[in-house]
Structure 1
């Protein structure tokens, strides 16, 4: 497991970039193979979704700063989610985390777990603790 910690020069703030996790894209791709013999169209749909997630895993990065969750494509910031607008978050299916959900004041977001789930949970608990998001 590799976690990148970026420290800004102006202060001691740490930015943590999550490492990619290829578990879900590869698992879906492998699951599509035996389905090929049962349902070709279902197998094709799962394989295409697996390929889509694989591309997203390679391209996207999540960075936790002191004030927001930032999503990058390469070095380009494509979206910022300030913690002050968050109401709740959850990681679904603890044995094998597959989906990350968080709710902001005006919208909800679902992200597949295509990054390290342990570091994701740690960063979420540090930046937006569970007791802060209870029943909102």
Structure 2
């Protein structure tokens, strides 16, 4: 096909050769080369540069820029588990073994979960993952479905209590239309968790930033 076009190009008059010369400039590339000649088209550039995706319009020079937000993983925080284990130790010291056992077991459970559970805040959704390799956590054992929820489905979220956060609550409509409530112990850096929740899910009704 290419050789045929070249042979025709030799024997055409100069004006037609010029037109074909323009058309031969028609190139398509996924790496950002010119898509067609400058006479009737612009050019299309689709390339990924860092975390910015730039697209040049096919029929003009207008540029559309889309920036993808970074994935945020709050650091683990062992304060709650340490406090519970301390309380259990105090109860044992004062011979209060009956309450010491459940408090101590809860402290050990949260200590274990702090080492393995991660909240992964992606560009459009929050996902619970497991371990340093961020393995999938599988289906939610209580309400079913993936442990991944889009921020756009969040109805509300809260911290209890903001100064020393113990629990984070959020309600979403992805699992079921009428809304599904989730509670998680805050075994992560509370400040980091709060800031990314405000950024991705918007201010909460009562714990969010107060209007000035």
Q: 1:30 aligns with which of 75, 82, 86?
A: 86
- Gaps of at least 5 residues in structure 2 are 1-49, 54-66, 138-146, 174-178, 207-212
> In structure 1, how many angstroms separate the alpha carbons of the residues matched to 2:205 and 2:75?
28
Is 1:71 the counterpart of 2:144? The answer is: no
Cα–Cα, structure 1 residues 8 and 53, in superposed 2: closer, same or farther, change >3 Å? Answer: farther
Q: 1:92 aligns with which of 142, 160, 163?
A: 160
Cα–Cα, structure 1 residues 86 and 76, in superposed 2: closer, same or farther, change >3 Å? Answer: same
SS class of match (1:53): helix
> In structure 1, how many angstroms separate the alpha carbons of the residues matched to 2:52 and 2:88?
47
Ranges of 4+ aligned residues in structure 1 off by more than 3 Å: 7-13
Q: Which moved more, 1:34-43 or 1:18-27?
A: 34-43
TM-score where L is the length of structure 2: 0.56
Partner in structure 2 of residue 127 of structure 1: 200
Larger radius of gyration: 2
User: Please, what is the CA RMSD of the aligned residues?
Assistant: 2.1
> In structure 1, how many angstroms separate the alpha carbons of the residues matched to 2:162 and 2:86?
21
> In structure 2, how many angstroms separate the alpha carbons of the residues matched to 1:18 and 1:61?
8
- Gaps of at least 5 residues in structure 1 are 1-6
Q: Larger strand proportion, structure 1 or 2?
A: 1
